Chains A and B, each alone.
Chain A
Amino acid sequence: MNKESPFSAEYDIGNSTELTTSTQENIPASIGQVANDFIEKMESYYKLSKPSRNVIRARIIP
């Protein structure tokens, strides 16, 4: 049992590491993939979120 505060540098993180590991094991890979896709999507929206100009030229064929 830890006597130190969880916010102290001396706190033994043994228990919390174990807890984190068990939590991670319970997350299906598909959810991680969904999260990654979502982050990528958000990033792409962020990067592309400026108006852009495009000029098209076409020759008229009589």
Chain B
Amino acid sequence: MKNVKIRKGARISQGDIYKDVEFIEYAIEKKGVIEISKITFPFVVVLTQDCDLSQDYKVRWARNEPSNHDKKLISVIVAPLYNVEHVYKGEHLSELNMSMAEINKDKTPGKTLRQNQTPRYHYLEFPSNIPIVSSVIDFKHYFTVNVEYLKKHKKKNFVCQIGPLYREDVSQRFSSYLSRIGLPDS
């Protein structure tokens, strides 16, 4: 993939890639002690529809109070990017004490993955000026992030934006994966 934008826009956009994004697993209070567990993802890609992000930005940061907040979002959908070499070995979540299925790099599963024929994953290669190794988006691991947190986070943690067509391809494959119909095992 050579079509990557490195110019940072003011708002959150579909296809943006940010580094070090936190996901709050839980926050509980017990006997006067608050416990918060968070996972930090090295890289995530924004999957929310760009028109929704654009409308949210206009309403949220408008100088004049809008007549209603109909277009405001609650959160932004993102999905993590994993180092493809770790994915092949099933070790990409080892720091979370999770072992994943191995994918044989040199056989059909690996080739299918790199050709984006595996519905769950989207393989991306970046140009040399982008400091991200070849990676895989795992659509199963999508999560949501607070809009204002992400906008503030973007200032120092924006890496790049996947360019037109490529980001639509990611979005289309994500929606296709989510809308799959689970059939019972026969």
Contact B96 A51 (CB under 8 A): yes
| A-B pair number, CB within 8 angstroms | 72
How many residues does chain A have at the interface if contact means C-beta atoms less than 8 Å apart? 18
Q: Report the bound CA distance from A24 to B47 in whole Å.
A: 46
Q: Which of B32-81 contact A (CB under 8 A)?
A: 32-43, 80
Task: List the A side residues contacting B43 at CB < 8 Å.
Answer: 49
Q: Report the bound CA distance from A45 to B34 in whole Å.
A: 32
Q: Known contacts A52-B95, A52-B96; is A60 also within 8 Å of B34 by CB? A: yes
Contact A53 B42 (CB under 8 A): no
Contact B33 A51 (CB under 8 A): no
Q: Is the interface of A mostly helix, strand, loop or mixed?
A: mixed
Q: Is the interface of B mostly helix, strand, loop or mixed?
A: strand
Q: Report the bound CA distance from A56 to B38 in whole Å.
A: 8
Chain B CB within 10 A, most for which of A46, A49, A54, A57:
A49
Contact B39 A52 (CB under 8 A): yes
Contact B41 A58 (CB under 8 A): no
Chain B CB within 10 A, most for which of A53, A56, A59:
A53
Contact B96 A59 (CB under 8 A): no
Task: List the B side residues contacting A56 at CB < 8 Å.
Answer: 35-38
Asked if A27 lies at the interface with its beta carbon under 8 angstroms from chain B, I say no
Contact B34 A58 (CB under 8 A): yes
Tell me the nearest residue of chain A to B21, going by C-beta: A51
Asked if B94 lies at the interface with its beta carbon under 8 angstroms from chain A, I say yes
The digit string for A38-50, where 1 denotes a CB below 8 A from any CB of B, is 0001100110111
Asked if A29 lies at the interface with its beta carbon under 8 angstroms from chain B, I say no
The digit string for B15-42, where 1 denotes a CB below 8 A from any CB of A, is 0000000000100010011111111111
Q: Report the bound CA distance from A11 to B32 in whole Å.
A: 78
7 pairs of A and B residues whose beta carbons are closest in the complex: A49-B83, A52-B95, A49-B42, A56-B36, A55-B37, A50-B95, A60-B32
